[in-house]
Structure formats: structure tokens, C-alpha cells
């Protein structure tokens, strides 16, 4: 595969995708971040360093504004939560895009590579290693630069990974995945980008977000969204949730890891994102629900599509929110008493 062939494919599908850009798919959060995106003659030089420049700002954890490396303590904290079924090579970070990396044991890691491995661990925890390994068709809504897609494709070795995102982001994932798997042939078709193996099997399909409705009914085994529903328009999120129910096979899997709520003044008239208020529909059974180990505000959950639902997800998410924030308040009160009232004379202050 020549460099020119990849560049031509990326340029072709990007230019086609922006011709039919659906503006309602771009939340003001991304309008602000994509202001500096410019597909010009220098784009491929910038893609070489995309994980340390403006191209991946906002969707690559390794691309930090302060330029700080992940610490050994952070690495060890994540490694404790990585499932034993995940081989160490899936934790390693390549130099594609020049991310901030750190040597640990005998391989390089980054914040993003460990985050991807953690979410694969969550999938295994929720649904079992055998079920995940045998995934044939996986949809990642908001695929970012392709970090999770890369390790999923390696772990689920007979799968096709579909990434649905904005055109500016798709340029980055197309470049990253093509460079990660140089043995695959890059093909641009209209507004989409594909990587095909030597047997003619599609390993990756990178498409504009609004093309998800073209997937066939009950054709997908797993749908994933990580930390991007919270940065979309609410109607778009609800549309994705409806599409997930439509495209998943019976007993198909859905995984979400998003903040409980999010809102910024810079979002102008956009409604705040509230996880428990979304329109999930009724066709779900709950695998499990838990709080992400390193971010109290993020709730992870796994669902099975079912015609006989056993969960009111909105009610369950609201109760989960109440429970965990109540515990947090209780802990703060306890810390306050321990810190400030340890030496208080209880005779003078009997009400304590």
C-alpha cells in the first residue's frame, strides 16, 4: 500500500462526506473544537502528529493540553482492573500519530491505550469473554480516533467494526487504523472509508454519523458508546438509541459509559445532558450497572436486547444516581467530622 493510495482514499471520502453534512449532528461542543480543522494541502503532514496536535483535541485522552505523561500510579491503578483474558500486547501504544507514551514493564502505554483496554475489560465483565470474542458485527457510535476499534478488532478477530462519527473525526480514525493495519487495503466509497483484508472481508467501515440508519435490521451483535452521548444533541442521542434497538439482533449487546449529566454555558441554548432522561425504549434486560473506578460522574452499564424487558432503565439510572451521590455526601460529612471535629470537646458541644 503506497502512502499516496491512502491519502487519496482519505481525501476522497472526506470531501464527499462534508457535501452532505447534517448540521444537526454537530453539537456546539464540536463546533468549537473543530474551528481549527482545515483539510488543506498540509493535512497529511498534520495527521502524522495528530495525537499531539489540534486534530484529535477532545477525543484522544493521550492528547493533553498540559503535555503530562501518565503516571506510574495511574498505570498500576488501571492494570489492576484489566481482565486476565486480555493479552499484554493489547495494552501497548504504537507511535502512530505521536501520542504521549510511557514505558511500563516491557511495552509502551498511554492514557488512551489503557482506557481502551479498560473498556474492553468492562465488556468482558458485563457479557463474558466468549461472547465478546465471538462478536461478528460491532458498531461504535462516536468512534474517535479508532483506539478502541483497534483492540476490539484484534480481540474479536473475525469481526467487522463500524465507526460512526463526524467527518473531521473520521479522517483521524481512517488514518490511524490504516496505519495500524497496513496489510489491509484502504477503499473510499462515496462518503465512507473501508479497510479490507486479503480475503475481501471488511474489517473496518468508517461512515458519517447519519449513515447508521442504512444498517440492516437485526444485523449487529454489539453497540458501544463511550463518553460521546454527553456531547451530542439530545434528539440525536435518542435517535441512536432507537437505531441500536433496530439494528441489534435479539439478545444483542449494548454498552454505555457516559457522565450522569453535563452542561456548559458555552453550549448556549442546548439542553443539559442527563443520562437518566434519555429515551431508551422498552426492549432491554440489564446485565449490570456500576460507577467507573476513576471518575465518579461516569456510569457504565450493559444491556441485552430482549422482547421481554426486565428493567425500567430510566428509573434504574435515576436510583443509581441518587444512591451514589447520597453515599458521596455521606462520605464528605464523615471526612468533615474527622478533619475538623476530632479534637472537639464533646462536653462543651454535647450536640455532636
Cell of 313: 432503565
Cell of 249: 439482533
Q: Which residue has the higher pLDDT, 23 or 256?
A: 256
Task: Give residue 346's pLDDT.
Answer: 37
CB-based contact 131:83 (threshold 8 Å):
no
The C-alpha atoms of residue 131 and residue 134 are separated, in whole angstroms, by 5
- ∠ CA 277-121-87 to the nearest 5 degrees? 160
pLDDT digits (tens, 9 = 90+) for 24-66: 777 666 676 666 677 888 889 999 999 988 888 888 888 776 7
pLDDT digits (tens, 9 = 90+) for 235-291: 899 999 999 999 999 999 999 999 998 876 666 666 788 999 999 998 999 999 998
**Of 275, 280, 281, 283, which is closest to residue 318 (Cα–Cα)?**
275
Domain 3-331 sits in CATH at 3.40.50.150
pTM of this prediction exceeds 0.85: yes
Residue 149 binned pLDDT confidence (cut-offs 50, 70, 90): very high
Cell of 147: 483506539
Q: Which of these ranges, 65-69, 99-103, 160-164, has the smallest mean pLDDT?
A: 65-69
The C-alpha atoms of residue 352 and residue 350 are separated, in whole angstroms, by 5
The C-alpha atoms of residue 327 and residue 333 are separated, in whole angstroms, by 10
Q: Does the pLDDT value for residue 333 go beyond 80?
A: no
Task: Give residue 351's pLDDT.
Answer: 35
* 187: helix, strand or coil: strand
pLDDT digits (tens, 9 = 90+) for 70-89: 899 999 999 999 999 999 88
The C-alpha atoms of residue 72 and residue 204 are separated, in whole angstroms, by 33
Task: Give residue 349's pLDDT.
Answer: 33
Amino acid at each position: 500500500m503506497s502512502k499516496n493510495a491512502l491519502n487519496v482514499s482519505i481525501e476522497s471520502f472526506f470531501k464527499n462526506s462534508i457535501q452532505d453534512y447534517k448540521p444537526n449532528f454537530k453539537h456546539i461542543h464540536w463546533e468549537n473544537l473543530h474551528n481549527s480543522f482545515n483539510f488543506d494541502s498540509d493535512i497529511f503532514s498534520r495527521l502524522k502528529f495528530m495525537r499531539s496536535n489540534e486534530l484529535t483535541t477532545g477525543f484522544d485522552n493521550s492528547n493533553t493540553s498540559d503535555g503530562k505523561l501518565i503516571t506510574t500510579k495511574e498505570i498500576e491503578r488501571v492494570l489492576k482492573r484489566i481482565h486476565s483474558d486480555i493479552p499484554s500486547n493489547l495494552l501497548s501504544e504504537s507511535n502512530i500519530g505521536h501520542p504521549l507514551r510511557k514505558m511500563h514493564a516491557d511495552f509502551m502505554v498511554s492514557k488512551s491505550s489503557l482506557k481502551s483496554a479498560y473498556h474492553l475489560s468492562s465488556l468482558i465483565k458485563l457479557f463474558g469473554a466468549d461472547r465478546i470474542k465471538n462478536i461478528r458485527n460491532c458498531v461504535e457510535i462516536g468512534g474517535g480516533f479508532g483506539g478502541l476499534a483497534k483492540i476490539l478488532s484484534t480481540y474479536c478477530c473475525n469481526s467487522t467494526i463500524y465507526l460512526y462519527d463526524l467527518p473531521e473525526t473520521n479522517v483521524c480514525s481512517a488514518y490511524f487504523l490504516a496505519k495500524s493495519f497496513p496489510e489491509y487495503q484502504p477503499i473510499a466509497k462515496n462518503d465512507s472509508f473501508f479497510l479490507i483484508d486479503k480475503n475481501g472481508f471488511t474489517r473496518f467501515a468508517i461512515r458519517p454519523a447519519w449513515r447508521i440508519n442504512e444498517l440492516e435490521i437485526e444485523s449487529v451483535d454489539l453497540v458501544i458508546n463511550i463518553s460521546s452521548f454527553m456531547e451530542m444533541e439530545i434528539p440525536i442521542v435518542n435517535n441512536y438509541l432507537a437505531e441500536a434497538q433496530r439494528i441489534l439482533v435479539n439478545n444483542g449487546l449494548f454498552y454505555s459509559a457516559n457522565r450522569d449529566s453535563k452542561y456548559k454555558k458555552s453550549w448556549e441554548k442546548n439542553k443539559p445532558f442527563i443520562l437518566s432522561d434519555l429515551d431508551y425504549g422498552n426492549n432491554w434486560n440489564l446485565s449490570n450497572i456500576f460507577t467507573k473506578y476513576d471518575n465518579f460522574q461516569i456510569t457504565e452499564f450493559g444491556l441485552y436486547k430482549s422482547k421481554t424487558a426486565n428493567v425500567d432503565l430510566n428509573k434504574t439510572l435515576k436510583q443509581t444516581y441518587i444512591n451514589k451521590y447520597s453515599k458521596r455526601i455521606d462520605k464528605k460529612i464523615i471526612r468533615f467530622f474527622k478533619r475538623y471535629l476530632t479534637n472537639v470537646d464533646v462536653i462543651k458541644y454535647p450536640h455532636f
